Structure 1
């Protein structure tokens, strides 16, 4: 039986604000996290986007605020967009508690406004790591009375290279505090932080059924890589949604897809990390206000977007992690409405769908590439359904206008045909898409995993047991390549290539798999390589 918000031992004002939002039952992660936070316990909560995790930490934070002029709680988010969304959720909850001050301290905003806000000693600060560190260095933020520290999407902050900032904030916060981490995944680094900075930490996890909304229809297509954009055009036409998000894995692809769609007369725009904050705000505002109906985005850029009623999500690229798939499709099918998600696969990546179905505990249907005839018929059917609703709801009569046409010798049927001619979508000629040849595969699970890595341009692991993972502080932003890694380990440690396995590049660091024979150096060793300070540590 579900716990109800009315049953929680929290302030009446908070209950009233929750009631105003039409919320009745707690989600699984809220039922687990709220009592623990109110009791002052430290924990890691494994929770996906769309599970109600913001209220899971916001409600207990508000409950424990004392009305004294002190900053008592800090919530850290990986991106400005997510921080603003979390800030707005807090505002909903303090609707009847105007004395509780909440301030967003994020990048891309005026320093002067933030200086003014911080002088008032807000009870709760919602911030991004970089800007919080900046204010700490300036001495314009005071955490001496901080009693609660919450990390939202902690795994994303680590992926984005905020590890040093997070540790600096943890070290600047009072030792006597409550520390909670909310994360979609719990990698080893999260566990290390918990062990070092939390007190008797536990792990709580929402039931896996909350991973995907039951009202999301999930489908996939198999198409040659070079035909993906052609298929994209067909899917946008046949779906005919007012609000669409297309996810790609790289900024370059985002821009290429957007350019292609604009050439095809679609109302599309890009959203990625290379854009200035002003541009990103302009694009997201237009999408939210329905002035833009197709948003092409990378995962990081789309984090925290508070956009409801997205009709269609298309995974142009297979997501790099299963959890990312859940984040993506969770943007459709919200607020009780039915959602739709398409994933575009190539013949070489089709086998991955089994793994995704197992992870999400749902069925993802394979569909045939829609032909011109099918698209036309689908659009005509949608028009008929729409017109039927209009006819039923219509109370107006136009007999006088109809009589005038009839006096001119124009029948009702002729008039109706002329009007429908303006409404029925014109037939469209699409570029040819060849059906990809499906090759039967007898690969074992192990071989499939190796194949996955090859598909991602990563060297497959050739190491056996006792392999060790190490992290090097060089990443994509340093234009790192496997050859550089091989050269570094060879020249510094005389480690041969056959003792080096999988190499995975991230934005600010690289993870390298070494055999136990190759793992001969001292952990946390620092040295110079081509003028750059290099640090290697075991993970």
Structure 2
């Protein structure tokens, strides 16, 4: 199906044809015909960047009654930036539809102009939950007769704590409306909203639930913690055309990494919670326009930042929650293009890699941090390619050439090329002249069977561990399920009915845990845990890695 065959009205087709729309994306191909012909609620699962705005926006623009100067569609999204972008996209789609008004409402901006725009007769309102609820409570935004409610990036809105606002907004809407829920993942809270506020919802899914984009390559580099920034520099230098987001854990780390990159000559900046809204807008506009090659951000600060054509997403630190990794990696490899998700890990994070691989259902490639020689070669040939493909403006440059020729006539062709390359290239040669090997864990991986690292721990009886071979196991519940070390040891005792299993390090995260046990009890523990549940969740234990 093409857009010309979709049934959309001519004024809409004219606008999207100018935007280069020819063939619908998979999620558009599923949702647009349904919305044009049915009022059944839908849950649409698709990664960010797959054309979801057009998937719900085009049919709503087609169906809205422009002669009625009342709000007929409410589109909710998690952030100011995404709100502005959706409203802008909708305005572009409806460029040739007379009488259609679209208003965006969000916090951090004066409410007066937004009230005035709604009262002037807008038919479509795009808003963040907080500001939308404020306008409803003021009696300005009347949603008791709306026909459509759209949740865009619903999982992100729940992650950001908008659950109560969404509940309050939905209570004021008519039961006969059509509800459209768009999300990248399907957590339990999304299912709750669907069951409570939607009627016989039809589910459309593009790709697997909670899975990463198919055209993203996943790589990781293993270094010691002290070498993390040096590894980031090398990754950037090995990719001269990089255009990506570097994710950090904290706002302070974000500032530090961005400052280091700027001081080292990279086009980079930071996005974090300490920035004022004007500062944030300035940074984001520079990044969108390509004036910044790397944006260093926390997950919270980057929410709602929707930028096309990113080549890389770099995890300066892996997130604790593997689903956050999926969200991060989904920011590259969009609209049929390829992207790379890079993680810089230390030697004790192999277990996290295994868990992410299970969610992605694909392997992450262990890459070696490049050495100085490889980086210098890459930069050299990138410079040569740039020179070869540069556009020369003869009219502007011709008047300077006689002086330049005279100045450089004593140089041979070979000397001229060498000096020209050295102008840009010398700093790489100098920096990487004695560059050390940053790769960690390689020797440890190759020396399996050698002397084991001494570890401290307790057995299931509470005694000290011996030196037997150990296995590191993954358990699919964590602190959110009220799991703690004492409870885990008790579960091992109770489930296996064995009281002398040696237990090493226990590492409990929010949604999962790792623990070390005597390898000879590995299969016993896996089988025994598989027969039990905790807080309604069926327990699953898998081998993360062997420890010798």
Coarse TM-score class (shorter-chain normalised) = 0.7 to 0.9
Question: Is 2:65 the partner of 1:88?
Answer: no
Per the TM alignment, residue 387 of structure 1 is displaced from its structure 2 partner at its CA by 2.7
Deviations 1:358-377 (A, max 9, x none): 54455532211111222112
Unaligned runs of at least 5 residues, structure 2: 450-468, 493-506, 512-532, 537-548
Question: Is 2:371 the partner of 1:366?
Answer: no
CA distance in 2, matches of 1:416, 1:99: 62
CA distance in 1, matches of 2:249, 2:178: 36
Judging changes above 3 Å, is the alpha-carbon distance between structure 1 residues 411 and 114 closer, same or farther for their aligned structure 2 residues? same
- Count of aligned positions: 467
CA distance in 1, matches of 2:247, 2:349: 17
Q: Which residue of 1 aligns with 2:26?
A: 28
Decide whether the 8 Å contact of 2:478 with 2:509 is kept in 1: no
What aligned pairs does 1:290-301 form with structure 2 within 5 A after superposition? Answer: 290-301=290-301
Question: Is 2:74 the partner of 1:48?
Answer: no
CA distance in 2, matches of 1:403, 1:121: 67
Q: Which residue of 2 aligns with 1:191?
A: 191
Decide whether the 8 Å contact of 1:380 with 1:425 is kept in 2: no
Q: Which residue of 1 aligns with 2:416?
A: 415
CA distance in 2, matches of 1:251, 1:62: 40
Deviates more, 1:308-317 or 1:55-64: 308-317
What aligned pairs does 1:107-126 form with structure 2 within 5 A after superposition? Answer: 107-126=107-126
TM-score (structure 2 length as normaliser): 0.76
What aligned pairs does 1:236-251 form with structure 2 within 5 A after superposition? Answer: 236-241=236-241, 243-251=243-251
Aligned-residue CA RMSD (Å)? 3.4
What aligned pairs does 1:481-500 form with structure 2 within 5 A after superposition? Answer: none
Judging changes above 3 Å, is the alpha-carbon distance between structure 1 residues 300 and 64 closer, same or farther for their aligned structure 2 residues? farther
Q: Which residue of 2 aligns with 1:492?
A: none
- The 3-state SS of whatever aligns with 2:370 is coil
Unaligned runs of at least 5 residues, structure 1: 466-500, 506-512, 517-539
Q: Which residue of 2 aligns with 1:15?
A: 13
- The 3-state SS of whatever aligns with 1:270 is strand
TM-score (structure 1 length as normaliser): 0.77
Per the TM alignment, residue 148 of structure 1 is displaced from its structure 2 partner at its CA by 0.7
Decide whether the 8 Å contact of 1:208 with 1:360 is kept in 2: no
What aligned pairs does 1:147-166 form with structure 2 within 5 A after superposition? Answer: 147-166=147-166
Deviations 1:33-64 (A, max 9, x none): 22333311112222211222121111222122
Per the TM alignment, residue 71 of structure 1 is displaced from its structure 2 partner at its CA by 0.2
Question: Is 2:475 the partner of 1:449?
Answer: yes
CA distance in 2, matches of 1:443, 1:119: 68
Judging changes above 3 Å, is the alpha-carbon distance between structure 1 residues 185 and 320 closer, same or farther for their aligned structure 2 residues? farther
What aligned pairs does 1:181-330 form with structure 2 within 5 A after superposition? Answer: 181-208=181-208, 216-241=216-241, 243-330=243-330
CA distance in 1, matches of 2:223, 2:484: 25
Per the TM alignment, residue 216 of structure 1 is displaced from its structure 2 partner at its CA by 4.0
Judging changes above 3 Å, is the alpha-carbon distance between structure 1 residues 213 and 100 closer, same or farther for their aligned structure 2 residues? same
Q: Which residue of 2 aligns with 1:523?
A: none
CA distance in 1, matches of 2:308, 2:316: 21
CA distance in 1, matches of 2:263, 2:393: 37
CA distance in 2, matches of 1:237, 1:387: 18
Deviates more, 1:186-195 or 1:359-368: 359-368
Per the TM alignment, residue 443 of structure 1 is displaced from its structure 2 partner at its CA by 7.6
CA distance in 1, matches of 2:211, 2:166: 27
CA distance in 2, matches of 1:214, 1:379: 29
Judging changes above 3 Å, is the alpha-carbon distance between structure 1 residues 444 and 124 closer, same or farther for their aligned structure 2 residues? farther
Per the TM alignment, residue 25 of structure 1 is displaced from its structure 2 partner at its CA by 2.0
Judging changes above 3 Å, is the alpha-carbon distance between structure 1 residues 423 and 70 closer, same or farther for their aligned structure 2 residues? same
